Structure 1
Amino acid sequence: MLKSIQEWVMVFTIIGLIMLIGNWIGYEVLPLDALPGIIILILISLAGLIIHRLLPFQLPSIAYIGIIGLIITIPGFPGSEQINVWTAKVNLLAIATPILAYAGISVGRSWFDFAKLGWKTIVVGMCVLLGTFLGSAIIAEIVLRIQGII
């Protein structure tokens, strides 16, 4: 368990640094301003992963991470206002970019495992991506027309 925690901390630290740089370059938020929010997000993620390992339930770790994040940001929870202020300085795309890059690298390391899934996996993946893109485009079109922007 200790080795896993050390690995998680190392990965979260690297991703946190990339998030700081992305937030600074892309959204002009100074690293010192975003650092408390990134640390909070890392601690929430780390706590969720540890709880996932300790509890015998078969819930995904993202469920624990989401529940922890929900609880500590509920109005009235001690420190929730400050946590909301800190995490508001971290933009979503600054978070998503390094995480997606890490996911891509981890898939890239296991191409043989990916290839074993067969060509059908690629077809399904392409359909999912196409469906997501078209669904997003349709929703955007409807919302923009309702607002009178287009």
Structure 2
Amino acid sequence: MIKSLKEWILVFMIIGFIMLIGNWIGYDILPWDALPGIAILIGISLAGLIIHRLLPFKLPSIAYIGIIGLVLTIPGMPGAAQIVTYTTEVTLLSIATPILAYAGVSIGRSWFDFVQLGWKTIVIGMVVLLGTFLGSAVIAEIILRFQGII
């Protein structure tokens, strides 16, 4: 458990640094303004991973991370307003970029395994991506029309 915790902290520190740079370059949010929000997000993620390891339930760690984040930001919870204030300084794209890069590297490391899955996997992946894109576009169109923006 201690070895995993050290690895998680190292990965989160690297991703947090990339998030700070992404926020600064892409959105002109200074690193010291975003640092508390990134630290909170890292802490919530670490807590979710630890709980996932300790509890015998078969829930994915992302469920624990989401539940912790939800509970901590419920209006009326002590410190919820401060957590929301700090984390709003961290943009979504600064979070998504290093995570997607990490996912790409992990797929690249197991490229041979990916190729073994065959051409059907690529077709299914493309259909899933297309469906997700079209579904998001339709939902956005409906919401924007409903709000009178378009």
The 5-angstrom pairing of residues 125-144 of structure 1 reads 125-144=125-144
Q: Percent identity?
A: 77
* Partner Cα distance (1:139, 1:69) in 2: 26
- Quick one: which amino acid aligns to residue 136 of structure 2? S
Decide which moves more: 131-140 or 100-109. Answer: 131-140
Q: How many residues align?
A: 150
* Partner Cα distance (1:121, 1:43) in 2: 35
Residue 45 of structure 1 corresponds to which residue in structure 2?
Answer: 45
* Partner Cα distance (2:96, 2:49) in 1: 18
Q: 2:76 is paired with a residue of what secondary structure?
A: coil
Residue 102 of structure 2 corresponds to which residue in structure 1?
Answer: 102
The 5-angstrom pairing of residues 19-34 of structure 1 reads 19-34=19-34
Where do 5+ consecutive residues of structure 2 fail to align?
A: none
The 5-angstrom pairing of residues 57-136 of structure 1 reads 57-136=57-136
* Partner Cα distance (1:113, 1:98) in 2: 23
* Partner Cα distance (2:147, 2:63) in 1: 35
Q: 2:56 is paired with a residue of what secondary structure?
A: coil
* Partner Cα distance (1:14, 1:117) in 2: 31
Once the two structures are superposed, what CA deviation does each residue of 1:34-93 show, in whole Å capped at 9, x if it has no partner? Answer: 000000000000000010001000000000000000111112222111111000110111
Q: CA RMSD in A?
A: 1.3
Once the two structures are superposed, what CA deviation does each residue of 1:78-114 show, in whole Å capped at 9, x if it has no partner? Answer: 2111111000110111111110110011111101111
* Partner Cα distance (1:116, 1:40) in 2: 40
- Quick one: which amino acid aligns to residue 142 of structure 2? I
Question: Please, what TM-score do these two structures have when normalized by structure 2?
Answer: 0.94
Give the C-alpha shift of residue 149 in structure 1: 4.4
Give the C-alpha shift of residue 16 in structure 1: 0.3
* Partner Cα distance (2:79, 2:145) in 1: 40
* Partner Cα distance (2:144, 2:55) in 1: 45
- Quick one: which amino acid aligns to residue 120 of structure 2? K
Q: 1:83 is paired with a residue of what secondary structure?
A: helix
Question: Please, what TM-score do these two structures have when normalized by structure 1?
Answer: 0.94
The 5-angstrom pairing of residues 6-25 of structure 1 reads 6-25=6-25
Give the C-alpha shift of residue 5 in structure 1: 0.5
Where do 5+ consecutive residues of structure 1 fail to align?
A: none
* Partner Cα distance (2:68, 2:149) in 1: 38
| Distance 1:121-1:74 versus aligned 2 partners, 3 A rule | same
Give the C-alpha shift of residue 140 in structure 1: 2.9
